[in-house]
Amino acid sequence: MFESAEIGHKLKKSEYRREEPKLRQALLKAQYDLLDNGKFPVIILVNGVDGAGKGETVNLFNEWMDPRHIHTHAFGAMTDVEREQPEMWRFWRALPPKGHIGILFGSWYTDPILKRVMGHEKRAVFEHRLERIRHHERMLAAEGALILKLWFHLSKPAQKKRFKELLSSRKTAWRVGAGDWERWKHYDEFVDVCEDALRDTSTGEAPWQVIEGSDPQYRSLTAGRLLLDALTARLKGPPPKLSPSAPPPEPPIDRRNVLNSLDYTKSLTPKAYDKRLEKAQARLNQLTRDRKMQERSLVMVFEGMDAAGKGSTIRRMTRAMDARFYRVIPVAAPTDEERAQPYLWRFWRHIPGHGKAVIFDRSWYGRVLVERVEGFCSEADWMRAYHEINDFEEQLAEAGAIVAKFWMAVTPQEQLRRFKEREKIAYKRFKITDEDWRNRKKWPQYERAICDMIERTSTEVGPWKLVAGNDKLHARVTVIESLCDHIESVL
């Protein structure tokens, strides 16, 4: 992987002086075209060996282009807030919005590579983390991002020479620390691990570009041109969308599915309800105050057809919890800041820290429900979403989150009854809109989307609980009880 970056690439200063002004003018123009276009972000990952010119290149990019539209993020040690979150959390927060350039200095590659070199993590863990990165980058690319992955390389003797050069001047000696020499001793292991990492993550949508770092002129011009070429090509039009591997399956011939095979006749008398509800709420209250919860978080998802009783169930549940413990996020139209990001971004921003709960009233599943049915996104987009969502929830679970997902199911007849009831009662009228009636007409399409969703996203870490909700009392108690069961099983 690094062979061609150890052959001593060089460029004459005179050639650099001739080419640099043209390059920077073209880059600046491309940057403004990107800003005008406003349809995709550019994510530049800067990685490589120490002393190979990473910092210099980042500074140069900021100098060549308009630094006001470049977001440079350097990732060092995690803050205590970041440590409670999935590792990708801090990278999500650093994503540039559409139209902008984000430079991630020390990206999602740094930690897996270092941990592997130091022997802190086994090969299997390393490979799992690389796989996660591949998924992450594929998702970003599918969402439109242009990803440029730059790797700056130096051979072992070249790195030694570079450190000595830096040390020889008072102006630059501070840049070489004891840690650098320490890492230099591990050069061979480091490069071995990096080769593995690069090979495993050089994909069609986000290939690595290895740049030999010993000659500043060669390095700078190469990096600049790679950015310019990628940006220019992308501005001409997005790459063709990959079609999904397999079209979504037809519904089963006998029309039986997980929704219509639920038992909708279950019900509770008000008296039985009161008794069981009180018990379930007390149990939930205890569980949320469990010591172990201080190292955990709770992410709840409520989905269901209109008037299925999501809101009233959430309220019965929150009554069992301290208001300082939970936050309810009602998912409505995205804000403009959210629209400038991949669709999962607006959910990542609400992920709770340890000892906290977030209840999503509708969620990222909108992608495979309303967006699918209404055609707000392409088939390829919602088809890939199943995997992206599973990956997202897996990351939450790995960081200690308990993921609980509820589908509140009602029959079409019961929905109709509730719509009519809502129209009659003054203070409930705000809950029923024309859109609800329109959605209702698409019941079969929704049913199909729901069944696909449950089949493809009911995972070990994030199982779906389907609740027959024709009887509200039964539904509420069932949700709280099954939430308790789920929390207990995890704790």
Interactions with a copy of itself, residue window 80-99 (CB under 8 A): 80-81
Asked if 74 interacts with a copy of itself (CB under 8 A), we say yes
Interactions with a copy of itself, residue window 327-356 (CB under 8 A): 327-330, 335-337
Pick the binder of a copy of itself from 72, 201, 217, 288 (CB under 8 A): 72
In whole angstroms, how far apart are CA 300 and each of 327, 335, 463? 10, 22, 11
Pick the binder of a copy of itself from 216, 244, 311, 463 (CB under 8 A): 311
Pick the binder of a copy of itself from 229, 322, 374, 398 (CB under 8 A): 322
Pick the binder of a copy of itself from 34, 52, 95, 103 (CB under 8 A): 103
Which of 43, 58 has the CB closer to a copy of itself? 58
Asked if 361 interacts with a copy of itself (CB under 8 A), we say yes
Q: Please tell me the count of residues contacting a copy of itself according to CB under 8 A.
A: 43
Interactions with a copy of itself, residue window 32-71 (CB under 8 A): 32, 55, 58-59, 61-63, 66-71
Which of 103, 373 has the CB closer to a copy of itself? 103
Minimum distance from residue 408 beta carbon to a copy of itself (Å): 15
Minimum distance from residue 167 beta carbon to a copy of itself (Å): 16
Asked if 314 interacts with a copy of itself (CB under 8 A), we say yes
Interatomic CA distance for residues 101 and 43, integer angstroms: 6
Interactions with a copy of itself, residue window 389-428 (CB under 8 A): 427
Binding site for a copy of itself (CB under 8 A): 25, 28-29, 32, 55, 58-59, 61-63, 66-72, 74, 79-81, 103, 105, 174, 289, 311, 314-315, 318-319, 322-324, 327-330, 335-337, 361, 427, 430
